[in-house]
């Protein structure tokens, strides 16, 4: 392989902090991990997707912005990237709502002008696509060097339902953080949860998260375990906040009060930083995943909980079916809070079962740490650019 010329850039097109969304956090964590293993002379920068395109809000590695909902902006950005000789590869994080036009078709305007090789990651892969969705995804995939998905099921769907060539498809799992080694009892004291059996959900709040199911289940759970506390971490999703304000959070708060659960449910209206989040997960006895979308391809919140060694109770969805079995958690078969309550009580009554689920959930994610995921990305960059990008591993000496 040849050596890189100075100032070689890999440019990510994605939402990015300070924007509060899952893909923004995902991209930040991935880039941090990749940067730690790249050889000198290579940099990763970000073109941040932002409807307001306010570059002043962003800090390096976000070096530019693009309003993905304006076709002219998409085209102008592609031309600017073409004119930057240092950019050798573009990496696109894809979600249909990030780009304007029907089903995000403005991205095709960007790609039609782009003269650089690109990789795309589909965060959502829906089965049985409409004719329009099929056309958009096929057009994108045809132009891409590689198409990344994060689960085996997504790879199967994009191959079978979208007829994307198998040699273009790569599975790279969603990264996870290393679990905290801090004592759970000490953490419970730190967060005013001493002597509590803690059930947790985290993430940006919206009505499709189904938090009300967890709250209603706490009626039965708290009757069996008066010391049980359901902690819901997260602010309202910014898009929902623009549309209807705090309507959903106020509904949840009303539900808590109507059912007399003020001592058993705690809504924490914060955007939790990663370090604090992993501590909350480390002290959690059971993690509840109540999202209502059975076709959801992947969930960072779900995987972070597993990587922290949480026993999981989850609605049935794609990733749960791939990651959970009776030894790692529970997949609910109904939409009833009574089933959730029954399963939570079963786990809380059996410390050995809970410990087994904790350990097995952690083991299931041991190959999905950001360190390992970053190496898979770096190897893909090397393949496409036909040059080394990864710091060589040093030989072990005995």
Reported as a single tens digit per residue, the pLDDT across 148-192 is: 999 999 999 999 999 999 999 999 999 998 765 568 889 999 999
Residue 52 φ/ψ, nearest 5 degrees = -90, -10
Distance of CA 114 to the CA centre of its chain: 27
* Three-state secondary-structure class, residue 354: helix
Q: Based on the fold, state whether residues 135 and 282 are members of the same structural domain.
A: no
Q: Based on the fold, state whether residues 204 and 150 are members of the same structural domain.
A: no
Q: Based on the fold, state whether residues 104 and 214 are members of the same structural domain.
A: no
Residue 395 placed within a domain: no
Residue 253 placed within a domain: yes
Q: Based on the fold, state whether residues 97 and 152 are members of the same structural domain.
A: yes
The two counts, helices (H) then strands (E), for the chain are 15, 13
At 292 the pLDDT is 87
Neighbour-count burial for 210-219, b at 16+ CB within 10 Å, e otherwise: bbbbbbbbbe
Q: Based on the fold, state whether residues 249 and 154 are members of the same structural domain.
A: no
Residue 291 placed within a domain: yes
Q: Based on the fold, state whether residues 355 and 374 are members of the same structural domain.
A: no
CB distance 22 to 300 below 8 Å = yes
Q: Based on the fold, state whether residues 20 and 42 are members of the same structural domain.
A: yes
Residue 393 placed within a domain: no
Return all residues near 89 (Cβ < 8 A) that are at least 6 apart.
10, 11, 116, 117, 118, 119, 381, 384, 385
Q: Based on the fold, state whether residues 321 and 373 are members of the same structural domain.
A: no
Residue 398 placed within a domain: no
> What residues in the chain have per-residue pLDDT under 70?
1-6, 179-182, 393-398
Q: Based on the fold, state whether residues 301 and 231 are members of the same structural domain.
A: yes
Distance CA 385, CA 391 (A): 15
Distance CA 174, CA 166 (A): 20
At 180 the pLDDT is 56
- Domain extent at residue 103: 8-175+369-385
Residue 234 placed within a domain: yes
| CA distances (Å), origin 243, targets 9, 70, 103, 147, 273 | 37, 20, 20, 33, 25
The Cα angle at residue 269 between residues 265 and 271, in degrees rounded to 5: 125
Q: What is the CATH number of the domain that holds 373?
A: 3.40.50.2000
Dihedral of CA 43/71/97/246: which sign?
A: positive
CB distance 64 to 55 below 8 Å = yes
Q: Based on the fold, state whether residues 156 and 217 are members of the same structural domain.
A: no
Residue 2 placed within a domain: no
* DSSP symbol at 99: S
Q: Based on the fold, state whether residues 171 and 190 are members of the same structural domain.
A: no
* DSSP symbol at 317: -
Residue 396 placed within a domain: no
User: Which of 192, 211, 183, 171 shows the shortest CA–CA distance to 315?
Assistant: 211
Q: Based on the fold, state whether residues 349 and 375 are members of the same structural domain.
A: no
- Name the domain count of the chain: 2
């Amino acid at each position: 392989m040849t050596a890189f010329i100075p100032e070689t850039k890999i440019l990510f097109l994605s939402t990015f902090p300070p924007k509060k969304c899952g893909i923004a956090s995902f991209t930040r964590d991935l880039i941090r991990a990749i940067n730690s293993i790249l050889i000198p002379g290579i940099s990763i920068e970000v073109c941040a997707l932002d409807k307001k395109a306010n570059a002043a809000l962003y800090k390096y590695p976000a070096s530019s912005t693009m309003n993905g909902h304006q076709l002219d902006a998409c085209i102008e950005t592609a031309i600017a990237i073409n004119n930057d000789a240092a950019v050798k590869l573009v990496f696109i994080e894809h979600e249909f709502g990030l780009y304007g036009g029907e089903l995000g078709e403005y991205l095709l305007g960007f790609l039609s002008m782009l003269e650089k090789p690109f990789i795309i990651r589909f965060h959502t892969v829906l089965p049985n696509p409409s004719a329009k969705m099929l056309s958009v995804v096929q057009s994108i995939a045809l132009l891409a060097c590689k198409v990344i998905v994060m689960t085996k099921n997504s790879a199967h769907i994009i191959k079978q339902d979208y007829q994307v060539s198998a040699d273009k498809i790569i599975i790279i799992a969603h990264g996870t953080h290393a679990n905290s080694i801090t004592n759970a009892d000490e953490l419970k004291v730190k967060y005013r949860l001493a002597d509590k059996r803690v059930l947790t959900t985290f993430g940006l709040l919206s009505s499709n998260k189904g938090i009300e199911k967890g709250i209603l289940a706490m009626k039965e759970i708290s009757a069996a375990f008066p010391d049980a506390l359901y902690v819901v971490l997260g602010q309202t999703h910014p898009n929902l906040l623009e549309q209807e304000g705090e309507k959903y959070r106020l509904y949840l708060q009303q539900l808590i009060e109507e059912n007399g659960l003020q001592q058993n449910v705690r809504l924490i209206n914060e955007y939790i930083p990663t370090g604090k989040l992993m501590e909350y997960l480390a002290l959690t006895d059971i993690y509840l995943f109540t999202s209502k979308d059975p076709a959801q391809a992947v969930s960072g919140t779900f995987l972070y909980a597993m990587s922290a060694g949480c026993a999981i109770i989850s609605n049935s969805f794609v990733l749960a079916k791939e990651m959970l079995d009776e030894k790692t958690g529970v997949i609910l078969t109904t939409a009833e809070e009574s089933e959730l309550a029954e399963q939570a009580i079963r786990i809380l009554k059996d410390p050995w079962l809970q410990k087994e689920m904790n350990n097995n959930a952690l083991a299931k994610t041991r190959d999905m740490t950001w360190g390992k995921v970053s190496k898979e990305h770096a190897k893909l960059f090397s393949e496409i650019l036909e040059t080394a990008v990864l710091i060589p591993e040093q030989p072990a000496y005995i």
